[in-house]
Structure 1
Amino acid sequence: MGQGPSCTANDDNGLFRAAKLGDLEILKIQIDADPSLLNQTTLYDRRSLLHIAAAHGQIDVLSWLLDRSMKPDLLNRHKQTPLMVAAMRGKISCVQKLLDAGANILMFDSLYGRTCLHYAAYNGHSDCLQAILSVARSSHVAVSWGYARFVNIRDRKGATPLHLAARQRQSDCVHILLGNGALVCCSTGGHGYPGSTPLHLAARGGSLDCVCELLAWGADRLHRDASGRIPYVVALKHKHGACAALLNPSSAEPLVWPSPLKFISELNPEAKLLLEQALMEANREREKSILKGMAYSILSPSTSDGGTDDDLSEASEAEQCCICFEQVCTIEVQDCGHRMCAHCTLALCCHSKPNPATGSLSAPVCPFCRSGIACLVVAKCIINDDDDNDFDISCPRLRRSRQSWNLSEGGSSSFKALSAVGSFSKMGAHGSGRTLSEEWTDKLDLN
């Protein structure tokens, strides 16, 4: 793929060898004697000392060179910057140092027209990806380009960082990019022409984690690429049977991240994590039923069942969700203080309907007091110890086994139906894995 810098460069030069090995003393002696050596590059690849130090993670050498007023955006033969090389190799300390020195994250190479964000995503270096995105959110890029535009930046072939991460089976990078505004149904085709979505490339790569993550964020199973193939056909062609089973349009539709949550101005990161876990847990039940009886199974740690029955005695004493009567309250509406479990919070948002008069979506409201939800946080559970003294703890993701509650004992049929996982699966648009809310949002964006 032409991702790595060439190894044919002349590293016999003592100066370049010192930069590669991190021998700062030799560098200081030679450059103090002849400062023009700072501008010397390798013969073929035209790599500078900064490129070599970044590629090999020599942070002391890199810092010293930058302190000598060496420009952080020097280009090699392929117009790659030291930041691109460091992101490619996963040298997070060098990436952070170059970013702190003002390295330009909007530089494009001459190989594929890719940026440092593409390189980090392609090679699966999630820490480098996070560092670049953090700088992009707070730098001039957010003002001049727009942060969302940068996250969805395309290379010469129309691929975004999300496309590359999905193709290379980098599920952690896929998760980070989706959480930062990457467009899940973005196509490589431009100007109205068909192209591949990240789901097509995940199907080609055969990563169950990437496929599940993309489906949970609303990826369209019926989108056709330039050859007219849906992701299901791509997975079959590359003999990824388990992925094909989940991508089959005739299989049950996944539960997707609901659009109304985007209207909440302040979604606490810990609360978001709990909601994401509840979403993936609900989808795992669907995936198990699809793969049941087949030769495939979900084996990755991120989709295992470990820990679902955490400390039941502790959970039984914690505050129980008054909607489903099955889960522990883990999410709290900050303004009114009412609490729900993560599953019921998702159900509440999935059931939010567009206003028929205006055709627009509205923010979800608390089911108990009907006040608007502006901020969701992690609930603090009150648990009674043996001495009947109350103390607060942060609620972990505790799941309680099914209790013997029934409707005659005070359970609300409407609330109970609201949080049933079975009802979740009926909320998507037919065959696409997208909720009604997602469809409305897309229509509004197009207008």
Structure 2
Amino acid sequence: MGQTMSCGKVHENDLFVAVRNGDLETIEAMVETHDPTIFATARGHSRQSALHMAAMLGRIEVLSFLLDRVSFFSNPDVLNRYKQTPLMLAAIHGKISCVKKLIESGAFILKFDSLFGRTCLHYAACYGRSDCLEAILAAARTNRIADSWGFSRFVNTRDEGGETSLHLAAQYGRPECVQILLHNGALVSAVNGFNGYQGNTPLHHAAEGGSVECVRELLAWGADRLQPDLFGRIPYLLALQNKHQACAALLNPSSAEPLVWPLLLRLMTDLNLETKSLLEKALKEINMEREKSTSNTTTHSGSFPSPAPSVDDNTSEASNVEECSICFERLCAIELKPCSHQMCAHCTLALCCYKKPDLTKPSYEAPICPFCRCSIVNLLAVEITNNAAAELERSPSIPRKPRKSCEGSSSGSFKGLSAMSSFVKKGGRISGKVAAACSEASSNKHLRTAGMSSHPCNPS
């Protein structure tokens, strides 16, 4: 009897050593020659199974074999001492291949552990595993969760402390995860309080942790800088208390509010990824320029976009890309639908952000095209030919020739100038070309007037 128990113990150790080393041949031999109940054993204080260890270490071949060939793992939601599933451990350690395989095998993404009451989504956001986060969210859209629980409810699921996945991503400084969650319907101003108590928002956590990128992202999605916590502290005070000066500058209530991601673009479900990427980049550049003007700094270690180099007209003609007729500074990157007029991403954002979104109202007014006055239904990225794509990536503010499509009618020009004036008010800055042209025209007019008044034939 003692010899039998000793052999069993050796086999158990061999199993976990083989899983740790990724020795698939040894594991296959155990399935064929030994009692399959050996795979039901757990190891360590946390009582991890072989499937937990394979998921945690990223042994995808071993994991696939255990799921497909071992009957004990026909249900992939095996629990350890803390009721954590292999999917949770794979998300914690960022093993994306194991996450996908476990989801394909039917792992339940809405399991809560007994340690913090968190799901695999919480852990992926907390540890900054953006690829695992996207895989879990993609599964939630097609999984049985979408029908029974609801996708939006799943994204905003709270742990036992009232924290959503967005709270955790902001608290631990995971800007990529913050962005992914916001684009998938995470509530930017969710509070973690219970029983009527006013808790912390994700912006409070980001300010306390000193993550500038998370603060920028949350503010761009409309996070309230004046929202108090349980003790009446706004995020600005938390940033000051923890000596995060960069975050405090962004959260200062006396500074200008950053541009907010337009409500129109949030509700535009058919907005393609390329267009969204261009608009996100433009939004970040605009807000960084505002930060630069607020802090009155000349250099910031490359955090702000550098001035664009000038390019002659020959390069403009060769690239076959026209200049934005609103700001006369950047290339046309966005096409308005259904009218097909084109603008740069910065001016498109200014057009859509003309009014601050009111999230309490179910309806919204679609922005109007500044050229033809028709309602904008959708936005598309402009197809850039030749070397213009590389030029746009290298310098998004390359000067270009005026657009030919707007030179034909005076009414179109007046509309463009009218729209440009509204953008100047909104953006807080004037194009160098336009300012210089206006100054020159004013000087010439003054000289002509002075010359006429001093002419001897001019009546006094």
TM-score band, normalised by the shorter chain?
0.7 to 0.9
Which amino acid in the other structure matches residue 34 of structure 1?
A: D
**Cα distance change on mapping 1:354 and 1:74 into 2, 3 Å:** closer
Mark the CA change 1:293 to 1:362 in structure 2 (over 3 Å): closer, same or farther: closer
Q: Percent identity?
A: 51
RMSD of the alignment, in Å? 3.0
1:195 positional shift: 0.7
Report how far residue 354 of structure 1 moved: 8.6
Alignment of structure 1 residues 132-171 onto 2, 5 Å: 132-171=136-175
SS at match of 1:266: coil
> Contact (CA 8 Å) 2:311, 2:399: kept in 1 or not?
no
Q: Could you tell me how far 1:402 is from its partner in structure 2?
A: 6.5
CA distance in 1, matches of 2:169, 2:196: 24
> Once the two structures are superposed, what CA deviation does each residue of 1:50-78 show, in whole Å capped at 9, x if it has no partner?
00000111111100000024121111100
Q: Does 1:363 align with 2:362?
A: no
Are 2:292 and 2:304, in contact at CA under 8 Å, matched by a contact in 1? no
Per the alignment, residue 276 of structure 1 pairs with: 280
- What is the aligned counterpart of 2:375 among 372, 376, 380? 372
TM-score by length of 2: 0.79
SS at match of 2:278: helix
Task: Determine which structure has greater relative contact order: mean sequence separation of CA pairs < 8 Å that are 6+ residues apart, divided by chain length.
Answer: 1
Using the alignment, how far apart are the partners of 2:339 and 2:329 within structure 1?
22
- What's the counterpart of residue 222 of structure 1? 226
**Larger helix share, 1 or 2:** 2
Pair 1:250-2:249 in alignment: no
Q: What secondary structure is seen at the aligned counterpart in 1 of 2:222?
A: coil
CA contact (8 A) 1:333 1:375 kept: yes
Relative to structure 1, the CA distance from residue 347 to residue 315 in structure 2 (aligned partners, 3 Å threshold; closer, same or farther) is farther
Alpha-carbon deviations, 1:306-337, whole Å to 9, x = none? 6x637845557521122222221100124332
Following superposition, the deviation at residue 100 of structure 1 comes to 1.2
What amino acid does structure 2 have at the position aligned with 1:186?
A
Tell me how far 1:16 sits from its aligned partner. Answer: 1.3
Do residues 419 (structure 1) and 409 (structure 2) align? no
Q: Which residue type is aligned with residue 335 of structure 1?
A: P
Contact 1:106-1:115 within 8 A present in 2 as well: yes
Distance in 2 separating the partners of 1:231 and 1:360: 30
TM-superposed deviation, 1:141: 1.4
Q: Which moved more, 1:141-150 or 1:10-19?
A: 10-19
TM-score if structure 1 supplies the norm length? 0.82
Q: What does 1:4-403 align with in structure 2 at a 5 Å threshold?
A: 13-32=13-32, 33-68=34-69, 69=71, 70=73, 71-293=75-297, 303-305=303-305, 309=308, 312-313=311-312, 314=315, 318-352=321-355, 360-381=363-384, 396-397=392-393, 398-400=395-397
Find the aligned partners of 2:295 and 2:21 in 1 and give their Cα distance. Answer: 50
C-alpha distance in structure 2 between counterparts of 1:232 and 1:328, whole Å: 37
Shift in alpha-carbon separation, 1:360–1:353, aligned structure 2, 3 A: farther
Unaligned runs of 5+ in 2: 1-9, 403-409, 430-460
Distance 1:252 1:149, change over 3 A: same
Q: Deviation per CA, 1:421-440: give whole Å up to 9, x if none.
A: x51479xxxxxxxxxxxxxx
Number of equivalences: 399
Closer/same/farther in 2, CA of residues 370 and 169 from structure 1, 3 Å limit: same
Tell me the alpha carbon deviations over residues 249-286 of structure 1, each in whole angstroms, 9 at most, x when there is no partner. 11111111011223434211111111111111000011
**Are the structure 2 counterparts of residues 292 and 278 from structure 1 closer, same or farther at C-alpha, using a change threshold of 3 Å?**
same
> Is the 1:265–1:374 contact (alpha carbons within 8 Å) kept by the matching residues of 2?
no
